[in-house]
Homo-oligomer: A and B are copies of this chain.
Amino acid sequence: MSALLDAVFAPEEIRRIFSDEAHLQGMLDFEAALARAEARAGVIPPAAAVAIGRQCEARLFDLGALAGAAAKAGNTAIPMVRALTAQVAGVDAEAARYVHWGATSQDAMDTGLVLQLRRLIDRVETDLARLSAIFADLAERHRRTEMAGRTWLQQAAPVTFGLKAAGWLSAVERHRQRLAELKPRLLVVQFGGAVGTLAALGDWGLSVGALLAEELSLSWPDLPWHAQRDRVAELATVLGLMVGSLGKVARDLSLLNQTEIGEASEPAEPGRGGSSAMPQKRNPVGAAVVLAAAQRAPGLVSVMLSAMPQEHERGLGNWLAEWQTLPEICTLAGGALSQLVEVAGGLSVDAERMRQNLDQGNGQVFASAVAMALAAHLGARPAHELVEKAARRATEQRRHLLVVLAEDPAVTQHLDVAELDRLFDPAGAVGLAESLVDRALAARRPSDR
């Protein structure tokens, strides 16, 4: 409703895909293609198809009047068909007879929607490819940048920033795969007439359907799917999953961006992330937009899923429930992705600060490395308990874990000072981080590498 607020969540190009004009144009593209298909099948005169096609431009319509009529009609296709018919009749009375020939409102609305969704998916695929490249680059460049791995928001054991980025990358690749798999199911026409029997077109129904699909470069599915909503609901879920993964990156970034941690920060830009009360603030606006999307999408996805059990040949209420929900999910997803491309693409990574934070915790972050080294001598459980006690002592006494361990004969009888020292070296403590980065990079599509 508020374009002001919409602007925070998605760039103009994405919002435009789901504007009034685009919604109307989607339906008009269906009507134009239908007329062409029917002309090719010999169902309506070719001249009618040409005349109808010429009027199928959203800019020729009065959106305000359509909105008024939609409120009464209960959908936007009925007023569109009426207005289009009038429009065509103004130019060619004969052609007007063939507007929306043999179709029903849902045919226009669903197929129009699919056309909008295709644009959105194109944009998302482009941005996912960009994000994949960005994360691959971060993984590559920071393959040896050690930092604290953190679990339950506590320093746990060392990782590299490259491995973190590889994890993000790996999820992005899976989302690309999911989108590729869903496209054949989603990018199909909906065309069934009143109740999905194509009864209005006699024997021509199937060939008109196939030609209609060809006209729109969509597929012609086995059946009309007006009352089977899994195709559209699936897109909601796949985008919901994607937003969840984007949210994970944004969560990480926002936590790394905390004043007290300061390991990564969003690209600075005048006017970006300020505060009306605090002059020093550089708020991580990009992460916030992504996280907001990750907070909103799940509830919206649940609406799409709960609307699936639609009554008989066309639902009552539940079909309507999709109309704004799916565009909202698409816009949030597209917007979040777009933001993250910008944020990740210009990310400042502070490797020095990462190292400092790793050093700050009095060596506790190396406890598991020591425990594992001792396990070879004592067994896993006793080693764990020995180091657990030392770690607690170190905390209580605010001393470095290395120092405490070096004083403990139970430790030093197995590990000498040099060995202990080596265990507290971050470079050695990141395990197979680098090999894992390689694996993640190798798993990218050959064309992207």
A4 touches which of B3, B20, B252 (Cβ 8 Å) = B20
Task: From the candidates B98, B310, B442, name the one contacting A379 in the complex (CB within 8 A).
Answer: B98
Nearest opposing residue in chain B for A394, CB measure: B280
- Contact (Cβ within 8 A) B6 A324: yes
Given A171-B230, A278-B368 in contact, is the A298-B303 Cβ separation under 8 Å?
A: yes
Interface residues of A in 93-152 (CB under 8 A from B): 96-105, 108, 148-152
On whether the beta carbons of A295 and B289 are closer than 8 Å, the reply is no
Q: A284-B153, A309-B294, A317-B290 are in contact. Are A96 and B379 (CB under 8 A)?
A: yes
Residues of B within 8 Å of A99, CB to CB, are: 380-381
Do A331 and B197 form a contact, CB below 8 Å, given A151-B281, A152-B284?
A: no
Question: Are A104 and B275 closer than 8 Å at their CB atoms?
Answer: yes
Q: Which residues of B contact A148 (CB under 8 A)?
A: 259
Interface members, chain A 177-196 (any B CB < 8 Å): 177-178, 181, 185, 193-196
Bound Cα distance from A76 to B251, whole angstroms: 23
Instruction: Tell me the smallest distance from the CB of A135 to a CB of chain B, in Å.
Output: 12
Quote the shortest CB–CB distance from A252 to chain B (angstroms).
6
The list of the 8 closest CB pairs from A to B, nearest first, reads: A291-B317, A97-B379, A199-B431, A244-B308, A149-B195, A197-B431, A151-B314, A247-B309
Stretch among A211-219, A221-229, A412-420 lining the B interface: A221-229
Interface flag for A337 (CB, 8 Å):
no
**Cβ 8 A contact of A279, one of B158, B205, B299, B391:** B391
CB pair B385–A431 under 8 Å, yes or no, is no
* Chain B residue at minimal CB-CB distance from A330: B1
Q: Tell whether A447 is near chain B: CB-to-CB under 8 Å.
A: no
Residues of B within 8 A of A42 (CB): none
Q: Does B308 contact A205, Cβ atoms closer than 8 Å?
A: no
- When the two chains form their complex, are residues B70 and A310 in contact, meaning their CB atoms are under 8 A apart? no
Task: Please give, as numbers and ranges, the residues of chain B lying within 8 Å of A167 by CB-CB distance.
Answer: 196, 223, 225, 227-228
Interface size class of A (residues with CB under 8 A): 35 or more
User: Which residues 283-302 of A sit at the B interface, judged by CB distance below 8 A?
Assistant: 283-285, 287-292, 294-302
Instruction: Flag whether A269 is at the interface (Cβ < 8 A).
Output: yes
- A55 CB within 8 Å of chain B: no
Are A195 and B159 within 8 A (Cβ)? yes
Residues of B within 8 A of A440 (CB): 222-223
Question: Is residue A51 within 8 Å, beta carbon to beta carbon, of the partner chain?
Answer: no
A-B contact pairs, 27 of them (CB 8 A): A1-B19, A1-B327, A2-B20, A7-B68, A8-B74, A8-B75, A9-B324, A72-B285, A73-B271, A96-B381, A104-B276, A152-B283, A152-B311, A154-B257, A156-B275, A167-B228, A170-B222, A200-B369, A201-B431, A223-B439, A233-B241, A237-B241, A258-B260, A280-B401, A287-B317, A295-B307, A296-B303
Residue A282 CB within 8 A of the other chain = yes
Q: Are A81 and B279 also in contact (CB < 8 A) when A68-B7, A381-B99 are?
A: no
B198→A257 contact, CB < 8 A = no
> What 1/0 mask marks residues of chain A from 349 to 362 whose CB sits below 8 Å from any chain B CB?
00000000100110
CA distance A439 to B238 in the complex (A): 28
Quick check: A234 and B241 within 8 Å, CB to CB? yes
Known contacts: A78-B276, A244-B229, A430-B197. The answer to whether A149 contacts B313 by CB under 8 A is: yes
The answer, yes or no, to whether A11 is at the interface (CB within 8 Å) is yes
